[in-house]
Amino acid sequence: MVHMSGHRPYVIRGSVSLPEAELMWRFSRSSGPGGQHVNTSDSQAEVRFDLAGTQALPEVWKERALERLASRLVDGVISVRASEHRSQWRNREMAATRLAALLAEATAPPPKPRRATRIPRGINERRLREKKRRGETKQGRSGKDWG
């Protein structure tokens, strides 16, 4: 595992961003095309983040994320991998961006409950009138009365 310090913060939401010091990086060889280059470079990037032990997230967010990402966590640690690009640097960017997006989604407040509203009677009546008219039009197309 390698600790690396980056340049720009990966914002989760608002003023909260991924703490670079808490990101653990691991690089390995990517699968897929790349010719001779692929055999020599560790371009796949995997970033791990200790969600259970971090102090960077507000407590409410942390609880929400731990609950929502439970299936993806291993001992409270979430890991994201990227290997689309041939460049290790670009894969690092992708992995960190994905992790930030994942945490943003997992820490988002639950949506407001939907308030039921009644459909105005006029709209319903208009719809039923239109259905009736349409039915009559189609009924008129059948040639059963043309003896």
- The DSSP code sequence of 11-44 is EEETTEE--GGGEEEEEE---S--TTHHHH---E
* Residue range 49-65: mean pLDDT, rounded: 83
Query: Does residue 91 lie within any of the structural domains?
Result: yes
Contact by Cβ (8 Å): 77, 48: yes
What pLDDT band is residue 34 in, cutting at 50, 70 and 90? low
In sequence order, what are the residues at sequence separation of 6 or more whose Cβ sits closer than 8 angstroms to the Cβ of residue 43?
A: 27, 29, 30, 34, 83, 85, 86, 87, 88, 91
Query: Does residue 142 lie within any of the structural domains?
Result: no
Contact by Cβ (8 Å): 13, 108: yes
Number of domains in the chain: 1
Query: Quick one: pLDDT at residue 146?
Result: 62
Place of tokens 């009559």: 136
Q: Which residues constitute the domain of residue 46?
A: 11-31+39-107
Query: Does residue 79 lie within any of the structural domains?
Result: yes
Query: Does residue 137 lie within any of the structural domains?
Result: no
pLDDT single digits (tens) 86-119 = 888 898 889 988 988 888 888 888 889 999 998 8
The Cβ of residue 99 has, within 10 Å, a number of other Cβ atoms equal to 21
What pLDDT band is residue 44 in, cutting at 50, 70 and 90? confident
Residue 127 has pLDDT above 90, yes or no: yes
Query: Does residue 52 lie within any of the structural domains?
Result: yes
What pLDDT band is residue 77 in, cutting at 50, 70 and 90? confident
Query: Does residue 57 lie within any of the structural domains?
Result: yes
CATH, residue 61: 3.30.160.20
Query: Does residue 132 lie within any of the structural domains?
Result: no
| pTM: predicted TM-score of the whole model, two decimal places | 0.65
Residue 7 has pLDDT above 70, yes or no: no
Q: Three-state SS for 116?
A: coil
Query: Does residue 126 lie within any of the structural domains?
Result: no
Helices and strands (H and E) in the chain: how many: 4, 6
